[in-house]
Chains A and B, each alone.
Chain A
Amino acid sequence: MSPARVWRERGARYRLEGSKCKKCNKVFYPPKPACPYCGSLDVEKVELPKRGKIVSYAIEHTVPEGYRHLAPIIVALVELENGVKVLAPITDAKPDEVYIGMEVEAVLRRIWEESSEGLIVYGIKFIPIKE
């Protein structure tokens, strides 16, 4: 991973930015330069709501290199309040506490580090909403 790439991708991963199609008005994540639904090339960046519900999830035990200290990783597909879906890990929850329909909120967390002196990458994770 290069620092320039991490910097370039900061909008989606630091601020939960998606895109809105200026033609069909659909909003989607991750941000893309063209609309995946109508094909329009005219889209703009929008910030997405931070709260949503879990659509489905997996408890990942066989974890790729560089992430083993995080195992098991709870991987969830979350539907935000405006209907847009985001895939990210759930944190601050035990695997057996998670369920379909659970309410969660996006937070910024450290997600990857190259080495003790290398690059640190931040991104979105979801935490359970406790009210």
Chain B
Amino acid sequence: MRRVYAAGVGMTKIDRHYDKGFQELVHIAVKNLVDDVKMFSPEAIVVGNMMSSSLYQQDSLAALVADAAGLRGRGGFKVEAACGSGGHAVAAGYALIASGLYDQVLVVGVEKMSDYPTATTTSALAQAADFEHEAIYGVSFAALNALVMRLYMHRYEARREDLALWPVRMHEYGSQNPYAQLRNRITVEDVLKSAVIADPIRLMDSSPIGDGAAAVLLVSEDVARKVSDTPIQIVGVGMGSDGLDLTSREDLLNPMSVRIAAEKAYKMAGVEPMHIDVAEIHDAFTITALLSIEGLGFAKLGESWRFIKDGRFASGDKPSINLSGGLKARGHPVGATGVYQVAEIVMQLRGDFPGVKVGKAEYGLAMNTGGVATLTSVIILKR
């Protein structure tokens, strides 16, 4: 297999972009990417997206992206893994280059979620769960996570206020990230007093509904230096799955898909969790952050909430986690999120991330999941 590099990145600020459709969002991200590289001539397109069909009545997304990016004629496809679509799109783009098929591939993640009332978007998001046996009962995605959160607090004796520390930290980081959707600081009290979505999950435990697009240009080692002065190598890629339904899973608090994806990525990169300097992980809800941290091996099962209480994983620690503000504050345009994460890690490793910086870092990790840790990808990058 050939080495693969991320040669350039571009993002849009995540927001309720009522004035912009898919094409405009993609266009802004790609323009920022073009400014980031010396040469832009992708031969193929991979699009990460979840709900273009259910909310935007649009398939054939690669053709839409091609026109928005001035690339008519280039082939490509959409990758769907629910809220984990973006990370999986990067994995697919990686494979196209590692295999020798192409030298330059444009990976775009795009999602529009804000055009509809919350109940409609909630229904579309619930399609990440087992429709026949869970969503059919009117069970939302937040409710599934809330059920897991209650089990976590019950088994590990974590208090509700302990779990409020994560969103507070995410808003602190988000306030310094110009691309973040939520840029206000909040307190533990704010979290505990916010509206109940699905008890015990409150509004401020949840990532916001927003629109966004992010782009990463992946290239082979043959052209990496022609495209960028600071290409960042992708050294590990892993994917894993768990049951679509929650009922037949072995243990809801031991996320199999995360463990399997991480194991493969760490092994491929030749590193262990302790070598990671900076990480962007999936925290669609507070509970998702805890399970992600534990699944990635940064803490043992049931320990992450104590670590967070002790100030671990914050800026200055190793690893520093979600300096972007995470899904919680940076925002979570579901199918685009994984591409944002990879773009942020690339910028952190280059040292030009516009928000809270990690400082000198060698290894970065991006972990993105769809469903309740149903489909997970882990991507490890090296400066």
Q: Is B122 at the interface (CB under 8 A from chain A)?
A: yes
Distance in angstroms between the alpha carbons of A76 and B252 in the assembled complex: 13
Q: Is B268 at the interface (CB under 8 A from chain A)?
A: no
Is the beta-carbon distance between B198 and A58 smaller than 8 angstroms? yes
* A87 cross-chain contacts in B, Cβ below 8 A: 133-134, 137, 139, 144, 147, 245-247
Looking at the assembled complex, report how far the CB atom of A87 sits from the nearest CB atom of chain B, in whole angstroms: 5
* B142 cross-chain contacts in A, Cβ below 8 A: 58, 60, 62
Task: Give chain A interface residues in 69-120, CB to chain B under 8 Å.
Answer: 70, 73, 75-77, 84-89, 95, 100, 111-112
Distance in angstroms between the alpha carbons of A13 and B247 in the assembled complex: 14
Distance in angstroms between the alpha carbons of A36 and B243 in the assembled complex: 8
Distance in angstroms between the alpha carbons of A70 and B75 in the assembled complex: 46
* B150 cross-chain contacts in A, Cβ below 8 A: 56-58, 100
**Which residue on chain B has the smallest CB distance to residue A95?**
B199
Over the window 133-150 of chain B, the binary record of Cβ atoms lying under 8 Å from chain A Cβ atoms (1 yes, 0 no) is: 111111110111011111
Is the beta-carbon distance between B134 and A61 smaller than 8 angstroms? no
* A9 cross-chain contacts in B, Cβ below 8 A: 132
Looking at the assembled complex, report how far the CB atom of B275 sits from the nearest CB atom of chain A, in whole angstroms: 33
> Size band of the B side of the interface?
35 or more
Over the window 144-168 of chain B, the binary record of Cβ atoms lying under 8 Å from chain A Cβ atoms (1 yes, 0 no) is: 1011111100100000000000000
Looking at the assembled complex, report how far the CB atom of B147 sits from the nearest CB atom of chain A, in whole angstroms: 4
Given contacts A60-B140, A87-B133, A75 and B247 within 8 Å (CB-CB):
no
* A59 cross-chain contacts in B, Cβ below 8 A: 146, 196, 198-199
Over the window 62-74 of chain B, the binary record of Cβ atoms lying under 8 Å from chain A Cβ atoms (1 yes, 0 no) is: 0000000000000
Is the beta-carbon distance between B118 and A28 smaller than 8 angstroms? no
Distance in angstroms between the alpha carbons of A26 and B360 in the assembled complex: 50
Is the beta-carbon distance between A62 and B118 smaller than 8 angstroms? yes
Given contacts A56-B154, A58-B146, A86 and B247 within 8 Å (CB-CB):
yes
* A3 cross-chain contacts in B, Cβ below 8 A: none
Q: Is A127 at the interface (CB under 8 A from chain B)?
A: no
Distance in angstroms between the alpha carbons of A32 and B122 in the assembled complex: 26
Is the beta-carbon distance between A89 and B138 smaller than 8 angstroms? yes
Looking at the assembled complex, report how far the CB atom of A73 sits from the nearest CB atom of chain B, in whole angstroms: 5
Given contacts A56-B151, A57-B150, A59-B196, A66 and B245 within 8 Å (CB-CB):
no
Specify which of A32, A58, A65, A121 is in contact with B120 (CB 8 Å cutoff).
A65
21 interchain pairs (CB within 8 A)? A12-B133, A29-B248, A30-B248, A56-B151, A57-B150, A58-B146, A58-B200, A60-B139, A62-B140, A62-B198, A63-B122, A64-B119, A64-B140, A65-B123, A67-B138, A77-B246, A86-B247, A87-B137, A95-B199, A111-B138, A112-B136
Instruction: List 3 A-B pairs, minimum CB-CB distance, nearest first.
Output: A67-B138, A58-B146, A56-B151
